[in-house]
Structure 1
Amino acid sequence: MTRVSTFGNYQSALLNLMSAQSRGLEAQKRLSTEKVAHDLTGYGRGAETLTALKSAKSRINGFIQTGEAVAARMTTQALAFDRIAAGADGARQAIAEAIAAGRADGLMLEMQSYFQTAQDGLNAKHQGRYLFAGADTQNQPISIDTLADLAAAPDVASVFANDELATVSRLDENATLQTGFLADDVGSELFQIFRDIQEYHTGPNGPLDGQIDDVTRDFLTTQLGRLRDAHNNVTDTAARSGSIQARVDSILASHNNQQVSLQELIGDRTDADMAQAVTDLQMSQFSIQASAQVISQLQSTSLLNLLRF
């Protein structure tokens, strides 16, 4: 014969109530956080795999941030190359028009303007840092402002203040690219032409103004060819920069795809089944109500109540 005691019934009902409350609390946490567990302990044996996935995601995020910064800088760099090329091409067109007209009126003013255009490109900045200064990004690579300053310098090389460390960016575990260029590599050829024109202007055959004689025409015709070559070289360098930028964009797109895949893998392990969580919460509430009713009824079914009679 099985003995039934009031204490045993109360204890059983209370345990059921506490268990239902615990299940309800866990279901409520899943609903509020949308996660299976709030710490790695809750994932059991899957915690190690989850840690590895999150570590890989964090590493990819770091490469994405670097890639986005490099892509933005190279976009600005492309605009700077356009300025430098515009300086070379503008100077060439101005000389061609002067030769065609047979007069050099205002030519040196145009040369000064196009020189400053090229100088602005070489002194271009991105987020407060000079693009073509190498590692010394706080100091502008070219400090002179006029053709007279250029001609007064000991030589063209002396007007460039950049160092020799072109910017290198690590975009992946196995991808390290030179994404920067140096001012002297890009602008020396063009600046030498501007210097030669300024020295001719102030020399015995100058000034470059008024009617163009045969000697001046020959000189200017030679500069046309040199400026064409300088423009082509700047354009070629800009094309190499564009090719590098395309590689950066490709690597960045790959990282973004990896990030999406890793997030899906992590989500498969951490994201809670919301429909199941709602069901579990409702079932726990039913259990709590049922256990509470049992406890309430036990108050009227105590053996002590029967002993009163």
Structure 2
Amino acid sequence: MITRVATFAMSERMLEASLRTQSRMSEAQLQQASGAVSTDYGGLGRSAGTLVSLEVSLARSKSQSSAAEEAGNRVQVMYDAVGSMNELMSSFRTSLSSAISAGGDDDATLAATAQSLLEEFASLLNTRFEGRYLFAGSDTGTAPVNLSAYAATDAATQDTSYYQGNSVKASVALSSERTLTYGVTGDASAFEQALRALSAIANATTPPDTATLQAISDLTVDAIDQLAVVQAKLSIDAATLERSTAAQTDYQDEATSLISAINGADVTAIAVELSSYETQLQASYSALAKVQSLNLMDYLN
């Protein structure tokens, strides 16, 4: 082997410098590909704790906004169903008014109308959305209304024997400090009054007289008023959920921006940096090759 002319130490230093540049270039290439300053928390130094806190907070916010959005969709379906119930009862009130004016001459038609509306009202209370019975309380797998054994005939006596659910209303966490209880259960007074009024006609054992028709009409008016109150409450719930979702979305945008500021890589700056590293490496390899090509024979000849 031909001995080099005192180039060993110089070659080692140049090789080490080239390897360091190559390492920095590899790191920059990884940043360019991932868009992040570091692929692990260790590369962020003291900023790592802040980043972890922001990421946990962001994940929690996304979970809460998703839950609020789902709850908002359920409330909207309930609101629409109650609106349809109100329309049914308004139609029934009109039929009752006609029957009272006619002195009860067409009891069979009124009874048939009441039976049809009773079944339709029950169907609305059994509204199912995304696999959940919305008016059943927390017993979302059970249809809340069963008319098979329900035959309320006394307009003055409350009767919730139709109800198969429970009294536990749904709730959703809007933040770490606030929970919203929303919705309404099928045994609410508005629904009970409506079903009682319809059943009193549909299941009457004898044709109702004018006084009875008037009492049922009054009960129907009360039910319509109560349904309007229920709908107003659902509207408030929907607005609250919408505001919460909007607030969470704003926070998520801010948190994402902060996370990007901590760990986001400047791709443009990295491209310039990579170009500089490439130039340095080319120069280092060229110089290293030149030094390693020197040998004793070149000087002896």
Whether contact under 8 Å (1:151, 1:198) holds in the other structure is: no
Q: Tell me the secondary structure at the aligned position of residue 184 of structure 1.
A: coil
Q: Which residue of 2 aligns with 1:168?
A: 171
Distance 1:65 1:85 in 2: 30
Whether contact under 8 Å (1:166, 1:180) holds in the other structure is: yes
Q: Which residue of 2 aligns with 1:251?
A: 244
Distance 1:242 1:15 in 2: 70
Matched, 1:132 2:125: no
Q: Which residue of 2 aligns with 1:279?
A: 272
TM-score, normalised to structure 1, is 0.87
Mapping 1:23-62, distance limit 5 Å: 23-62=24-63
CA RMSD of aligned residues (A): 2.2
Whether contact under 8 Å (1:90, 1:114) holds in the other structure is: no
Name whichever structure is richer in helix by fraction: 1
Matched, 1:264 2:264: no
Q: Tell me the secondary structure at the aligned position of residue 180 of structure 2.
A: strand
Distance 2:102 2:197 in 1: 22
Cα displacement (A) at 1:100: 4.3
Q: Which residue of 1 aligns with 2:282?
A: 289
Which amino acid is 1:251 matched to? S
Whether contact under 8 Å (2:115, 2:202) holds in the other structure is: no
Cα displacement (A) at 1:66: 1.1
Q: Which residue of 1 aligns with 2:229?
A: 236
| 1:43-87 superposed Cα distances (whole Å, 9 cap, x missing partner) | 011111111111111111121111111111111111221232222
Distance 2:99 2:289 in 1: 108
Distance 1:21 1:273 in 2: 20
Cα displacement (A) at 1:271: 0.7
Whether contact under 8 Å (1:86, 1:117) holds in the other structure is: no
Distance 1:45 1:305 in 2: 55
Which amino acid is 2:6 matched to? S
Distance 1:57 1:157 in 2: 45
Identify which of 147, 158, 162 aligns with 2:161.
Answer: 158
Q: Percent identity?
A: 25
Which amino acid is 2:222 matched to? D
Matched, 1:108 2:117: no
Matched, 1:89 2:90: yes
Cα displacement (A) at 1:284: 0.8
Q: Tell me the secondary structure at the aligned position of residue 35 of structure 1.
A: coil
Q: Tell me the secondary structure at the aligned position of residue 161 of structure 2.
A: helix
Distance 2:152 2:124 in 1: 20
| Structure 1 unaligned regions, length at least 5 | 209-215
| 1:168-212 superposed Cα distances (whole Å, 9 cap, x missing partner) | 22221222121121111141111221232234x422xx2x7xxxx
